[in-house]
Amino acid sequence: MSSTPLSPECTRLPPLTGPEGPRLVFSDLDGSLLDHCRYDWAPAGPWLERLDALGVPVIPVTCKTRSELLPLRHVLGLTQTPFVAENGAVVGLPAAWCHARRERSTGPDGLVIKTFGVDIGLIRQRLAVWRARLGVRFTTMSEMPLAAVIELTGLDEQAACLARLREGSEPLIWEDAPERLTALREGLEGDGLRLVQGGRFWHVTGGADKGHAVAWLVTRFAALRGRRPLTLGLGDGPNDVTLLEAVDQPVVIRGCHGHRVAPDQPALYRTTAAGPAGWVEGLAHWWGDGVGRRVTEGAIMSDFHQNSLITDDNAGEV
């Protein structure tokens, strides 16, 4: 994982183009904000600074684990925003995104954790049952030696250990004929589980997905602020389709894996660049580099992190 600090290039930040009002960015990480192979984000550094200065939250929506995201949020400067881990199974909320009465206490990391998936033990149990019943061949991440995880992902040893700390999803490498996947998918669906394809692995999760988690966070934001935000989403893999279908302005970043990514969206931008360069291209497409307009976004979230806890019982359980 790269430890390059955010770029200092943005000494004068032009305003975003497009309509006024609150905005949220929902972003996949591997192959999108982070380079698929090197996990570098340097090309996106100026935009991350720019969005932070304008008070626009950038919310990671990823297959990574909570354990992976906790240190990564600090490196990327995203500690004040929520995150979605394990393809929608886990959502982490900083204090400013919490309900004052229903979410009074945070964990040692200062977060309230919401789980939308099923327990990892059930997922592993059902995978073992279906492997024996169908006679199909695959290897789950939990079954792999650490050295194999490092080789498959390109992560260092510490990061690979964090990637194995699953709570609500199990990655696997398919080692059988492609047509036999259908039987496994159908069997898992009968158990209320989903099989989705990522950039490197297939992932088995509960009923939740990235799109469900994004929609939940948008509803939570609207309850906090009294106004629905404009949402932009970026992703490069099949497991990002539901994310891209849940936002107003979707960006399919050119992938390095050759998988089909076809969200059902009337407005869709596909980048020509991959990884963080494509991430920048997608943001520039929707929100531009327009100059000459007064910056008004900076105040939108200025008080959000200080005193925007929900206190109205009529706000609902969001």
**What is the rounded distance in angstroms from the CA atom of residue 102 to the CA atom of residue 173?**
40
Q: Which of 28, 30, 236, 240 is catalytic?
A: 28
**What is the rounded distance in angstroms from the CA atom of residue 287 to the CA atom of residue 281?**
10
Task: Say whether 28 is catalytic.
Answer: yes
Count of other CB atoms within 10 angstroms of residue 311: 10
Q: Which residue, 281, 311, 246, is CA-closest to 98?
A: 311
Count of other CB atoms within 10 angstroms of residue 256: 17
Q: Name the residue with tokens 């931008």.
A: 269
Q: Which residue, 204, 179, 176, is CA-closest to 189?
A: 204
Catalytic sites, residue numbers: 28
